[in-house]
Amino acid sequence: MKALAMIYASMIENFQKNRTLRNLSKLNDSQLDDIGVSRELLAQGTRAYPWLILETGLQQPTTGAVLFQFKQKAANDNDQLPRAA
């Protein structure tokens, strides 16, 4: 049963990495630079995860890094609450 749970967890992690890769690939170079993500590492796919740039150059893939999550903008995100007088 543990093996099945590990396989399932690995599948979920790969799905999240692929979704994050897709979303990051949609950003322009300036936006990627702002969050410290390398376009070159993105081009290498999930094997180059976490796609981060260090001060000394490109970071090699590590385990246990946090995935970037991007939320689609909801229709009501632009709505503002009225201010109190």
For 22-35, how does the pLDDT look when each residue is reduced to its tens digit (9 = 90+)? 999 999 999 998 88
64 falls within a domain:
yes
14 falls within a domain:
yes
Question: What count of residues does the chain have?
Answer: 85
83 falls within a domain:
no
27 falls within a domain:
yes
In the block, residue with structure tokens 């170079």: 29
Instruction: Confirm if 59 and 52 have CB atoms less than 8 A apart.
Output: yes
What is the structure's pLDDT at 84?
Answer: 57
82 falls within a domain:
no
* Domain assignment of residue 42, given as a range: 2-77
71 falls within a domain:
yes
The 8 Å CB, 24+ separation contacts for 60-64 are: none
For residues 59 and 38, give the distance between their C-alpha atoms in angstroms, rounded to a whole number. Answer: 9
User: What's the whole-number mean pLDDT along residues 51-72?
Assistant: 54
Query: How many separate domains does the chain show?
Result: 1
C-alpha angle 64-31-50 in degrees, rounded to nearest 5: 15
E strand residue ranges, the chain: 53-54, 57-58
pLDDT(37) > 50: yes
For residues 77 and 28, the model is more confident at 28
